[in-house]
Amino acid sequence: MTDRLARADAATASTAQLAAYLRDNAHHPWKPPVGGLTAALGHDVIHGLDITVALGLDRRVPEDRIRTLLDTIDARTLKFFGADLTGIQLRADDLDWSYGTGTPLTGAAQDLLLLAYGRKLPPGRLHGEAGGRFVTA
């Protein structure tokens, strides 16, 4: 939908009008209603990954954004998103990060972030004996 709307705007508005749309909203005082800017970042990153992972696209989220979100993972986060990581230690294989205790489960940091947000992944993205627990059918 966003792509369709952007294309429609680009087809009907001049370059100056498009620039004005951005400029007019650059200092808008809106703030995310819950969780602040980090929660808003999480929303955008996770839903972006929901799409790119499902489509099999190799999109890499910049490390600074992934680290910011990984730093927010705690028991409350897991509960909110319905992620049951009981007995699992998540270990990123592309940066220095781990979470939890138990049987190691490794994968790309952004894939592990998806697990913490209650998502399952396509086969082959996780490594460890508990990996099947977090794979889509």
At 98, give phi and psi (nearest 5°): -150, 160
| DSSP structural state of residue 134 | G
Q: Tell me, what's the pLDDT at 115?
A: 97
Chain position carrying tokens 């007995």: 87
Distance between CA atoms of 125 and 129, rounded to whole angstroms? 13
| pLDDT by position in tens, the chain (length 137) | 777 888 899 899 999 999 998 898 888 887 777 788 898 899 999 999 999 999 999 999 999 999 999 999 999 999 999 999 999 999 999 999 999 999 999 999 999 999 999 999 999 999 999 999 999 87
CA distance 117 to 73: 9
Contact assessment for residue 68 and residue 81, using Cβ atoms and an 8 Å cutoff: no
Q: What is the pLDDT, as a whole number, of residue 30? A: 76
Cα distances (angstroms) measured from residue 39 to each of 36, 84, 100, 107: 6, 20, 21, 23
- Strands, E assignment, 13-134: 88-92, 98-99, 103-107, 126-127
Query: Using CA atoms, how far apart are residues 8 and 21, in angstroms rounded to an integer?
Result: 14
